[in-house]
A = this chain, B = another copy of it.
Amino acid sequence: MELINLPVRALTPENFAPFGDIIETGLGEVKLINWDITERHHALAKADVIGEEPQVLMNIFRSKPWQLPLTIKMVERHPLGSQAFMPLNGRDYLVVVAEDNNGVPHQPVAFLARGNQGVNYHRNVWHHPLLALDETSDFLVVDRGGAGNNLEEYYFPQQNFTISDREI
């Protein structure tokens, strides 16, 4: 199995646009509300759910950390719904996504997400499962519930990918 090293990119709206939204202050319209006590950073992401009786669920994912170097063997996608991850402990994490090529993922792309940055994978975007770093970490996850098969997995048959360094 060939091993290809993936560089880690900064997570910016420009870099991440093909894959989803970044949930972070400073990126959206700001509305002052509640007697100007609160800034509403408005509509940084939207849930996108389709299929039979779709629901938008709020869950907490508690994940053990991954150790570097790590190996990316697969990606998955959710054809019926977007999936958002918002870190609750302020810790950086890795985001690995891939563009689609006729139902098969391209070579993945890796981003370092800062502890104040959430991501919302658009519906049907290939992504690796959650990659927490350093310590067990909690994330608020906003995704789809309801009937239907909402999971497709793809294991890379000929190459795997490594992330050896989190430096951007």
The interface of chain A, by Cβ under 8 A from chain B, is 23-25, 28, 33-34, 37-47, 49, 55-64, 66, 84, 86-90, 116, 118, 120, 129-130, 138, 140-142, 145
Contact = CB atoms under 8 A, between A and B. Distances in A.
Interface of A is mostly: strand
Contact of A47 (B23, B40, B58, B62): B58
23 contacts: A23-B58, A23-B140, A24-B60, A34-B129, A38-B62, A39-B61, A40-B59, A40-B141, A41-B59, A41-B61, A44-B59, A44-B60, A46-B57, A46-B145, A47-B47, A47-B57, A49-B56, A58-B118, A58-B120, A87-B88, A88-B116, A116-B138, A140-B140
Nearest to A33: B129
A55 B46 CA distance: 7
A37 B139 CA distance: 13
A40 B55 CA distance: 17
Given A33-B129, A46-B145, A56 B56 contact: yes
B38 A58 contact: no
